[in-house]
Amino acid sequence: QYARYHELLWTLDEDRMRRSNAAGLVSRAHRLRGDAAGALELAREEQRLGKDAGSPLREARGWMHQAEALAASGAYVKALACMDAADDQMGRADYGRGEVRLGWKRAQILLQKGDLREADSVLHVALALAKDFQKEPELTGQVHSLGAQIAGRCGLHGEALWHHRHPRRLTGPRPLARAP
């Protein structure tokens, strides 16, 4: 369906923002079907159209989709470089919800790469930013779900996960109570 929408926009509509959005949707569909090369091509189109339209947000989403396509093909260094470009554009867009999404996506890529420590570190920043969006349960739920995946890969479950998320400073062993 998204491919047909994309095709219709190219023939009927000159709006670069709508074309960029359609390219992003079709890129995601390609990636989900396992076609990383097709996804990458459409993500580049999305990013270019966003830049031509003067939309830092749309350009950032194009970079993010390129990163996801590259990560799907195992090109993690290039994927993280695309995430850096997306971060730069998102900073220009000043769109807080997008920053949460970028942190979540960067952590996903790092998890795919197997860099659990860095994925967890990036996700902590996204969790802090997500506190401002508590009225958007889908966004915060995605961030928390990825946190559980990272913890599971680390072997943390239950109480260990809670202590990992809520660290306390240890002041040393407590003295044992003495009987009177």
Measured on CA atoms in the order 57, 1, 35, 104, is the torsion positive or negative?
positive
Mean pLDDT, residues 116-120 taken together: 88
Of 7-16, 105-114, 115-124, where does mean pLDDT reach its minimum? 7-16
Q: How many CB atoms lie within 10 A of CB 54?
A: 10
Summarize pLDDT for 66-99 with one digit per residue, the tens: 999 999 999 999 999 999 999 999 888 777 788 8
Q: What percent of the chain has pLDDT over 90?
A: 38
Q: Global pTM?
A: 0.79
**At residue 118, what is the residue type?**
E
State the number of CA atoms in the 13 A half-sphere of 110 facing the CB: 20
pLDDT band at residue 172 using 50, 70 and 90 as cut-offs:
very low
Mean pLDDT, residues 1-14 taken together: 61
Regarding predicted confidence, which is higher, 55 or 178? 55
